[in-house]
A and B are shown apart, each in its own frame.
Chain A
Amino acid sequence: MSVTGTLRTVRGRALGATDAGRPLEPGRSHANWVHQRDRRGAWFVVPFVIAFILFTLVPVGYSIYTSLYNTRLIGGTVFSGFQNYTATFQAGDFWSGFIRVIIFGAIQIPIMLAIAFFFATMFDLGIAKWGGAFRTIFFIPFAVPAVVASVMWSFLLEPQFGPFTHFASVLGFQGTNFLGTNLIFPTLILIVIWEWTGYNMVILFTALKAVPREVIEAAVLDGASLAKVVLRVKLPLVRPAIVVLVFLNAIGALQLFTEPLILQAYAPQSISNNWTPTLYLYNTAIGGQQYNLAAAGAVIFGLVIVVLSLVSLISRRRRGEFA
């Protein structure tokens, strides 16, 4: 897509491009007027579109280009077709990380959304006391950078001195190593739940608040119980929000990077250099300086995310959003 292509306007198109839901008055002059002011509107989106092209489309394009070449010490850069892709597909390192983050998301996202929905509902209905204060507290981790959260949790769960390790041994679980091979997975789930539950809860709360009170009152007059109102009335009405959150969190899980990288310093035996796809890509590109191979991996990784985004977009469009 070129910028000029975006801005060029064809005369006489305005009637077809009326604003949604607002019928145009008949008459050519009005149509022209609408058309003219609409063309001027293009200038508003130009800055974003240029930045988007330079810092998203160009890098993606250049990655695809890089992924099709190989750099050798002798002979320079040569076209290699899909060689890097074949190498990436065959490398177990890449896929093991993918499978790991998929399992990670499949466990972590339902737990987190269930907690978030429970609290959002309770705050929405006003069943919990001091709902406003709790909402603020739950949201605080969103303001904590993942690096700090990871450092913090690795202190708390440190195998020798960590206070949580100490608690565990008081509770009868001596020698618990939260950062060991067996527990590193649940530990990371715990950290991510700590980081993101509040954010998800606030979004669900906002969505629940948008449900008209009349709907609830009507259900109550029909004799619906609290559980019924929550599960049969409220839940379906905020389903779009939940769907979006599932996709957002799934993409977050796919790109899991900071937490395992920081924890790796404390638990090198539990987290390998290819523990997640992004770790693999990072270590291949920056650590190994294998740009071409990493570019192929980055393209595949990006494609997976784009496909996921498209699925989410289509499902949202089908529900009538983004009309």
Chain B
Amino acid sequence: MSVINPGVSAPSTTKAAERARRREERQREAEQTIRIFGIRRRTVAIVTALCVLFALFTLVPIAWMLINSTKNQANIFESFGFWFSRPFVLVHNFKMLFENVDGDGTYIQWLGNTALYAGLGGIGATALSALGGYGFAHFKFRGSKLAFSLVLAALLVPIAAITLPLYFVYAKVGLINNIWGMILPSMVSPVGVLLMRVYVRGSVPRELIDAARLDGASESRIFFRLAVPLMVPGLTTVLLLSVVGIWNNYFLPLVIFSKNSLYPLTEGLGLWASHASTSGDQNIYPLLVIGGVVTIIPSIALFLILQRYWRGGALLGSFAN
């Protein structure tokens, strides 16, 4: 692989100190760049202004959702969209998430389903990727090249292209409306395998493994005791990416679930959205807004909490840094 992780060679005293040091270094580099190229203050101001504009473009829709989750249906349509208005009904809207509106289903149940699918699927995908990535990184065996070529070929075939084929098989073997029909295919993550292979090559030195072997450690012991701890940042990235992938997946559940009680959030919200214009319920629009807000808050929070993993770690295959 073209880029090798440079971070592993220099063990740091503490992670926090390391991060602070890196931040300082980055700052110094930035100042150097500005001085070397003679960049004017005005350029910095203009570029920063463009960043602010794009940040607004990014945040405005989310702000609109947050603000309008406190409104009733009439005010969502009639009051000024970017400020609050009376009555302030956030709590009332929130309570509706526990009710079965229009007979379509209950939000809270969909939330539970999503957590289950994303949790099990994410853990499974991470485990399979860790094993597979480690196997492909450090071992050559008959068929390894072929198997790895398949991973690479599958890499760019999205789950959407597999969804209908899965549906045909499920219809045949009776996996329609079965939660495992959702969870098991989510565990197949070629991206995760590739990512872990790159990560293992960069962070688990072969010499270390060979040394442990000479000490008589078994392969499984080497993997669990030696390799896995070194793989944690990479594993976190894979877990994060697969959880988000499952959390966001809409096509697969849409195709394989016809029972409302099995829906994940995406499908439930999609159902409400498609019924909104025809629904007689006067709460359907506030419900859609608050439902969207409660859906995105956990995933955004997860990102903010774990961002040092995806920022420092590999986000995409060969660009590990």
| Chain A interface (Cβ < 8 Å from any Cβ of B) | 1, 5-10, 13, 17, 19, 22, 37-45, 47-49, 51-52, 54-56, 58-60, 62-63, 66, 115, 118-119, 122, 125-131, 134-156, 160-161, 163, 166, 194, 197-199, 202-203, 206-207, 209-210, 213, 220, 225-226, 229, 240-241, 244, 247-248, 251-252, 255, 257-258, 261-262, 264-266, 278, 281-282, 285-286, 291, 294-295, 298, 301-302, 305-306, 308-310, 312-313, 320-323
Contact among A51, A136, A151 with B184 in the assembled complex (CB-CB below 8 Å) = A51
Q: Does B150 contact A (CB under 8 A)?
A: yes
Chain B residue total in the interface (Cβ 8 A): 119
Q: Does B58 contact A (CB under 8 A)?
A: yes
Interface residues of B in 150-165 (CB under 8 A from A): 150-158, 160-162, 164-165
Complex CA distance for A179 and B243, rounded to whole angstroms: 32
| Chain B interface (Cβ < 8 Å from any Cβ of A) | 1-3, 26-27, 29-31, 33-34, 36-37, 39, 43-44, 47-48, 50-51, 54-55, 57-59, 61-62, 64-65, 68, 76-78, 80-82, 127-129, 131-132, 134-136, 138-144, 146-147, 150-158, 160-162, 164-169, 171-172, 184-185, 187-188, 190, 193, 206, 213, 219, 223, 244, 247-248, 250-251, 254-255, 265-267, 269-270, 273-274, 276-277, 285, 288-289, 292, 295-296, 299-300, 302-304, 307, 310-311, 314-319, 321
At the interface, is chain A mostly helix, strand, loop or mixed? helix
Given contacts A47-B127, A146-B250, 14 further A-B contacts (CB under 8 A): A1-B146, A6-B146, A13-B142, A40-B139, A40-B219, A45-B135, A55-B184, A134-B51, A140-B59, A148-B295, A151-B292, A160-B77, A206-B316, A295-B168
Contact among B61, B158, B302 with A305 in the assembled complex (CB-CB below 8 Å) = B158
Is the beta-carbon distance between B315 and A47 smaller than 8 angstroms?
no
Query: Can you sample 9 A-B contacts with CB below 8 Å?
Result: A38-B140, A41-B140, A41-B141, A62-B169, A119-B51, A155-B285, A156-B61, A262-B273, A313-B156
Is the beta-carbon distance between B164 and A63 smaller than 8 angstroms?
yes
At the interface, is chain B mostly helix, strand, loop or mixed? helix
Chain B residues within 8 Å of A153, by CB: 61
From A56, A153, A220, A308, name the one whose CB has the most chain B CB atoms within 10 angstroms. Answer: A56
Complex CA distance for A257 and B81, rounded to whole angstroms: 28
Is the beta-carbon distance between A266 and B131 smaller than 8 angstroms?
no
Tell me, rounded to whole Å, the shortest Cβ–Cβ distance linking B73 to chain A.
11
Contact among A10, A44, A320 with B223 in the assembled complex (CB-CB below 8 Å) = A44
Chain A residues within 8 Å of B127, by CB: 47
Chain A residues within 8 Å of B303, by CB: 139-140, 142-143
Tell me, rounded to whole Å, the shortest Cβ–Cβ distance linking B123 to chain A.
13
Is the beta-carbon distance between B213 and A37 smaller than 8 angstroms?
yes
Complex CA distance for A71 and B44, rounded to whole angstroms: 66
Is the beta-carbon distance between A37 and B219 smaller than 8 angstroms?
yes
Contact among B165, B187, B319 with A51 in the assembled complex (CB-CB below 8 Å) = B187
Tell me, rounded to whole Å, the shortest Cβ–Cβ distance linking B257 to chain A.
11
Chain B residues within 8 Å of A257, by CB: 160, 250-251
Is the beta-carbon distance between B184 and A127 smaller than 8 angstroms?
no
Contact among B36, B80, B155 with A309 in the assembled complex (CB-CB below 8 Å) = B155
Contact among A39, A126, A321 with B2 in the assembled complex (CB-CB below 8 Å) = A321
Beta-carbon nearest neighbor of A268 in chain B: B277
Complex CA distance for A30 and B57, rounded to whole angstroms: 61
Chain B residues within 8 Å of A119, by CB: 50-51, 54
Is the beta-carbon distance between B154 and A52 smaller than 8 angstroms?
yes
Beta-carbon nearest neighbor of B189 in chain A: A48
Contact status of A309 and B153, CB under 8 A, knowing A39-B141, A41-B138, A321-B2? yes
Chain A residues within 8 Å of B146, by CB: 1, 6
